[in-house]
Structure 1
């Protein structure tokens, strides 16, 4: 389409739901959050990165913006992180701050979902970043299977869809293996 992924996704979402969301096509950083206070903050952040350093940078930026908003529409609440390797990946929904939930007689509510970088810290510390550009499609496909990112994006979008549609979720994410077509849900504890 010739558009950044964030713009294409938000355009589709706005068209379907008749919302007026904005996509910010800037590198996500603490500096950008401070310089773009109205455009750079949101209730829900969605990241799709392959490197440990990018995940840690996002975590730092999200921690830095916790107390910086007095407006509900720019209060940082949730982070959906989607990441992948060659043919595996995961999507994990976290709370950026303790998030008050409505009272329920039917369900046990949870105010805090751990950040992916805290819950899987040991795994991340054992990894090394290899973010070298690929010069050809064949070279790129050695690093990542063709459909891993689109599959994870669709499954992650469905996780959010269920949350928006039903107002709750029993699953805060999943692990996925494209090579053997297995998906393992992560339940809300």
Structure 2
């Protein structure tokens, strides 16, 4: 009896053994983004200890820290009024001795349709509340130089999204990733964009009204206290395993903290 091969995606070789630190554009510095940044700090330190070149992160967010951000997001009362991206990156650099960068602007095209400066990176991680912002990022990624070998050639996009109690993380390839010949696995070179695969569902499921909260209590009515950190830990674990093992049979997951249920999304 012929058994079906397990579908597997093998990571781009540059992720595993880059000549320079991998460039990462982390978009969004709120409830999820601030915690993903902490995970990237730990990941960078660990990768370097294992002989990897590590990560070079650029954090994008134009928002200012308000009282409503305290408690649920990684900000202190003394940072109120500062740009989220600047406060987080300054803290990360002091803590880890890195030279990561902050962009206190939105990651989007300008009024003339030009790409943002420093838009090119190997890895993109989106942690935004707005569904429309994901479509804008997808449009930018589609217009980047993806097939010209260079240091910042775009490889992957990992998107984090959530409602009050539930959320999802999806890993996508920005261009086709060359796969090795395998007698054991059925290799999968393309992981679809979240906006292509779940575009209609994203539009229908957006429940956040996009207006700023005036207090922590009000913000907790929109997003529960631990949904962001739970997604950040699980999502970055998927990314870490891709670095460590060079392959994955999972490209994301759906998580519901209300009933503590998690469902993985396989490649292929």
TM-score by length of 2: 0.62
Residue 179 of structure 1 corresponds to 258
Give CA deviations for 1:59-102 in whole Å, capped at 9, x if unaligned.
Answer: 0111111448540x311111111100001000011111111112
CA drift at 1:10:
4.0
Question: For the Cα contact (< 8 Å) 2:108–2:116, is it kept in 1?
Answer: no
Aligned to 1:102: 180
Q: Distance in 1 between matches of 2:160 and 2:252?
A: 9
**Would you say how many aligned residue pairs link Structure 1 and Structure 2?**
183
Q: For residue 88 of structure 1, what is the aligned residue in structure 2? A: 166
Distance across 2 between alignment mates of 1:54 and 1:63: 14
Q: Which runs of 5+ in 1 are unaligned?
A: none
Q: Name the counterpart of 1:16.
A: 46
Ranked by relative contact order (alpha carbons within 8 Å, sequence separation 6 or more), the top structure is 2
The structure-2 alpha-carbon separation of the partners of 1:67 and 1:8, relative to structure 1 and needing over 3 Å to count, comes to same
> Are residues 1:144 and 2:223 paired?
yes
SS of 1:97's partner is coil
How many angstroms apart in 1 are the aligned matches of 2:114 and 2:168? 26
What secondary structure does 1:62 align onto? helix
8 Å contact kept, 2:146–2:175: no
**Which ranges of structure 2 fall in alignment gaps of 5 or more residues?**
1-28, 60-102
Task: Classify the secondary structure of the residue corresponding to 2:164.
Answer: coil
Corresponding residue for 1:159? 238
Deviation at 1:158, TM superposition (A): 0.6
The higher radius of gyration belongs to 2
Q: Equivalent residue for 2:138?
A: 59
Distance 1:175 1:53 in 2: 20
